[in-house]
């Protein structure tokens, strides 16, 4: 692994940094990506219009997309450099699931009419998307999903339920999987659809998490008619298209950098408030050692991201390596949240703009509980590492 940029990569990194400093600095909302992530479904898309307009001019809203579809056609390493520099400067991503998941899926599996209808509106920000995969009884075992889609003339009629659907209350469209052949083996009877969220029979019920936020939802389908033209790819081949969608999730470098920036802010606060009653650092010397541990772990997370992108740049497909990165980062998020609350002491229980550090650690402590579930549970990641990485038997 070479940690240094070559001449071309160094020039691109300079280009990205200059663009951020000259074009984006005034457009990034106060608090940057960290605060927007905590309230990303409360008007954040509106606050990012300026960022979107600047990025659109360079094709950087969808840097991985081919140029013919409005992207920048960047290499794996260029995408990594861009994501890393944006994370370092707290520039939030603006494309959402449309850019990172359904857009690339349509480029690979969609027909020309579907590409013409949806790709441009994704890039413009006109349409926001949500993902309809998980169900109450089908989380980690996604292929056991039971939502049904039955062909009726020019439509499919969908009945069932999805859950943990992030941003569904604000989304215009959903990409989803439904069972179209109940008699087929579970991986072979699933199809992949695009669904207009304003269709009659769609009900969205927000779920409130521990941090009193409505980031995800239940979605119910009652005789929802979806035009057959919104079937993506072949009938009953949706499972394989769905795995393509999951393959397009972002590099974890943004998460690794974000973790370190959190620690920078926490250490800065602790130094500024040591001994004044709003930080426990003066009373509990052991917390300094705990912060050092978190910094070491943050660097480990970053190196894991470097390993994954090095494999991708070499044309390899990370498998258990990606699971290792996800597992380590999500469990580290929980440890950092606990450390933050301990540093703040009783003030770590407060939330809101008037609380120390705007109550970030009260919120992150509550929301971090889900980080080892979302995107694949820690148990699933460990199984992948064990079987595919270590070659251990499944039984």
Distance from C-alpha of 123 to C-alpha of 126, rounded to nearest angstrom: 8
- The sign of the CA dihedral 128, 134, 140, 144 is negative
**Residue 176 pairs with which residues in a beta bridge?**
132, 193
Place of tokens 């394989």: 240
Q: Quick one: tokens of 27?
A: 């457009």
| Beta strand pairing call for 216-227 and 148-152 | unpaired
* Contact present, 24 and 91 (Cβ < 8 Å): yes
Place of tokens 């899926």: 105
Distance from C-alpha of 253 to C-alpha of 258, rounded to nearest angstrom: 8
249 is catalytic: yes
Q: Find, among 265, 262, 283, the residue nearest to 274 by Cα.
A: 283
Question: For the chain, what's the residue count?
Answer: 395
Distance from C-alpha of 27 to C-alpha of 55, rounded to nearest angstrom: 11
Place of tokens 């659809």: 193
* Contact present, 55 and 61 (Cβ < 8 Å): yes
Contacts of residue 243, Cβ cutoff 8 Å, sequence gap at least 6: none
User: Which stretches does DSSP call E strand in 213-362?
Assistant: 216-227, 231-232
Q: Quick one: tokens of 104?
A: 């690339």
Distance from C-alpha of 78 to C-alpha of 271, rounded to nearest angstrom: 36
Which of the residues 249, 272, 274, 379 is marked catalytic? Answer: 249
- The sign of the CA dihedral 338, 344, 347, 352 is negative
Distance from C-alpha of 329 to C-alpha of 325, rounded to nearest angstrom: 6
Q: Find, among 66, 68, 67, 71, the residue nearest to 95 by Cα.
A: 71
**Cα-Cα end-to-end distance for the chain:** 35
* Contact present, 345 and 279 (Cβ < 8 Å): yes
Which residues are identified as catalytic? Answer: 249
């Amino acid at each position: 692994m070479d940690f240094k940029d070559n001449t071309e990569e160094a020039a691109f990194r300079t280009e990205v940094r200059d663009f951020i400093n000259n074009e984006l600095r005034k457009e990034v909302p106060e608090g940057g990506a960290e605060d927007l992530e905590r309230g990303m479904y409360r008007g954040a898309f509106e606050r990012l219009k300026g960022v979107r307009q600047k990025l659109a001019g360079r094709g950087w809203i969808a840097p991985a997309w081919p140029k013919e579809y409005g992207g920048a056609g960047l290499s794996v390493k260029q995408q990594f450099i861009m994501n890393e520099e944006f994370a370092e400067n707290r520039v939030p991503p603006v494309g959402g699931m449309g850019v990172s998941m359904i857009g690339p899926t349509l480029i690979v599996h969609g027909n020309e009419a579907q590409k013409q209808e949806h790709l441009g509106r994704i890039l413009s920000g006109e349409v926001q998307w949500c993902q309809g995969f998980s169900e109450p009884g089908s989380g980690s075992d996604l292929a056991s999903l039971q939502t049904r889609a039955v062909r009726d003339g020019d439509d499919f009629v969908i009945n069932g339920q999805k859950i943990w659907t992030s941003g569904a209350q604000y989304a215009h469209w959903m990409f989803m999987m439904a069972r179209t052949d109940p008699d087929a083996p579970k991986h072979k009877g699933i199809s992949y659809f695009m669904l207009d969220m304003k269709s009659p029979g769609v009900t969205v019920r927000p779920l409130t998490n521990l941090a009193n936020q409505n980031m995800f939802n239940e979605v119910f389908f009652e005789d929802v008619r979806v035009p057959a033209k919104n079937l993506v790819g072949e009938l009953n081949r949706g499972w394989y298209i769905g795995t393509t969608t999951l393959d397009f999730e972002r590099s974890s470098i943004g998460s690794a950098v974000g973790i370190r920036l959190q620690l920078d802010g926490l250490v800065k606060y602790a130094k500024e408030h040591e001994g004044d009653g709003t930080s426990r650092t003066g009373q509990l010397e052991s917390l300094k050692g705990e912060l050092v541990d978190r910094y070491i772990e943050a660097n480990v997370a970053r190196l894991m991201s470097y390993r994954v992108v090095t494999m991708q740049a070499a044309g390899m497909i990370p498998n258990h390596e990606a699971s290792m990165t996800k597992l380590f980062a999500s469990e580290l998020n929980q440890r950092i949240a606990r450390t933050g609350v301990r540093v703040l002491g009783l003030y770590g229980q407060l939330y809101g703009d008037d609380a120390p550090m705007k109550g970030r650690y009260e919120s992150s402590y509550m929301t971090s509980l889900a980080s080892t579930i979302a995107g694949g549970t820690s148990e699933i990641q460990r199984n992948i590492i064990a079987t595919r990485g270590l070659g251990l038997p499944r039984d």
